[in-house]
């Protein structure tokens, strides 16, 4: 369905939820809701909200960080929020990928955006959008000229990071855990139905986005480069969003204890939550090689789609 047709049915889609289970290329690619912060769905409080700053309003985002999960979306948003002309949404909204939220309508979505001044752009990030079958069409129906940010990292490393997050979440909730090899391999072969692998098939998901948006509207941030040296990647984002250059090297400092860059802005220093940058488990070398070999062809296809290569093993 094209953007034009999607727009025509937007009111209907806001009233009636689409099917709960999304299936693409023969397997489930939806985001496990148990793996996401539990406070994102409601965003309801009994407290009286404070009065907005004079001259501000809530606007639909002019840019969305669409993914990828465990690719560095939180780091990108926090670093971009340094910019005085950016107003960043505080939580992952999951409007375009969760049917129960999309059914609440556009006004509900806009109300979750931050107050911003006329000269600022609003940015939200929900990494589940990239692997959602319906998110590209729904975002296009809202704004076909929106600028999209996609941050990616080595897809094999992303699989391991995905496992690590779920592993610690299950430990914290006193649920049983499995070794990563037991999830990556089934009956002696790579388990390509494992959701962490499915999310790393960047070419499949990118094809879906390119059906609705030209490549020029999707800026790809190199997540591995952002970790090593944030400033060059953020300068590219500033140019893509037509923002004046305001982010500088002094906005970052390397935290030796955590092993990654932290942020210095407005006289304050802050690092990402302790759940970020957790050490990855050691993976059986044979299993890891199986995974990398499987991903190689998908990576090559992705490079052709985006007319760019990345230094992935």
Q: What is the DSSP letter of 102?
A: H
Q: Which residues contact 184 (CB under 8 A, 6 or more apart)?
A: 159, 190, 191, 194, 197, 283, 287, 290, 291
CA 179 to each of CA 174, 183, 187: distance values in angstroms, whole numbers, following the listed order? 16, 7, 15
Cα 290 → chain centroid: 26
Which residues are known catalytic residues?
70
Structure-derived torsion over alpha carbons of residues 194, 195, 196, 199, reported in degrees to the nearest 10: 130
Contact 159, 291 (CB under 8 A): yes
- Which residues participate in the annotated binding site for 3'-phosphoadenylyl sulfate? 70-74, 153, 161, 261, 276-280
CA 60 to each of CA 65, 89, 106, 226, 237: distance values in angstroms, whole numbers, following the listed order? 13, 11, 9, 27, 19
Hey, what are 264's tokens?
A: 């210095």
Cα 149 → chain centroid: 9
Number of alpha carbons in the 13 Å side-chain half-sphere of residue 90: 9
Question: CA gyration radius for the chain?
Answer: 20
| Coil, helix or strand at residue 78 | helix
| Coil, helix or strand at residue 294 | helix
């Amino acid at each position: 369905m094209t953007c034009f047709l999607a727009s025509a049915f937007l009111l209907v889609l806001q009233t009636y939820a689409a099917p709960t289970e999304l299936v693409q290329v023969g397997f489930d690619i939806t985001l496990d809701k148990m793996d996401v912060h539990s406070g994102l769905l409601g965003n309801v409080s009994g407290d009286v909200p404070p009065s907005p700053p004079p001259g501000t309003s809530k606007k639909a985002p002019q840019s969305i960080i669409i993914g990828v999960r465990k690719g560095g979306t939180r780091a990108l948003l926090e670093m971009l929020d340094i910019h005085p002309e950016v107003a960043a949404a505080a939580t992952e909204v999951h409007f375009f990928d969760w049917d129960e939220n999309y059914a609440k309508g556009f006004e509900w979505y806009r109300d979750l955006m931050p107050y911003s001044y006329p000269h600022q752009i609003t940015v939200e990030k929900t990494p589940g959008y990239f692997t959602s079958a319906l998110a590209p069409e729904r975002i296009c129906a809202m704004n076909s000229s929106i600028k999209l940010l996609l941050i990616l990292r080595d897809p094999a490393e992303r699989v391991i990071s995905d496992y690590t997050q779920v592993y610690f979440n299950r430990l914290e909730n006193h649920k049983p855990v499995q070794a990563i090899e037991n999830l990556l391999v089934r009956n002696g072969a790579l388990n390509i139905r494992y959701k962490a692998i499915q999310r790393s098939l960047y070419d499949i998901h990118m094809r879906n986005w390119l059906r609705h948006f030209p490549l020029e509207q999707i800026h790809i941030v190199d997540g591995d480069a952002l970790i090593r040296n944030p400033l060059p990647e953020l300068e590219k984002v500033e140019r893509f969003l037509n923002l004046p250059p305001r982010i500088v090297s002094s906005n970052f400092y390397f935290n030796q204890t955590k092993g990654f860059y932290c942020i210095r802005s407005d006289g304050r220093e802050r690092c990402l939550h302790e759940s970020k940058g957790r050490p990855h488990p050691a993976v059986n070398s044979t299993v890891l090689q199986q995974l990398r070999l499987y991903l190689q062809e998908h990576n090559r296809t992705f490079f052709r789609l985006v007319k760019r290569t990345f230094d992935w093993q």
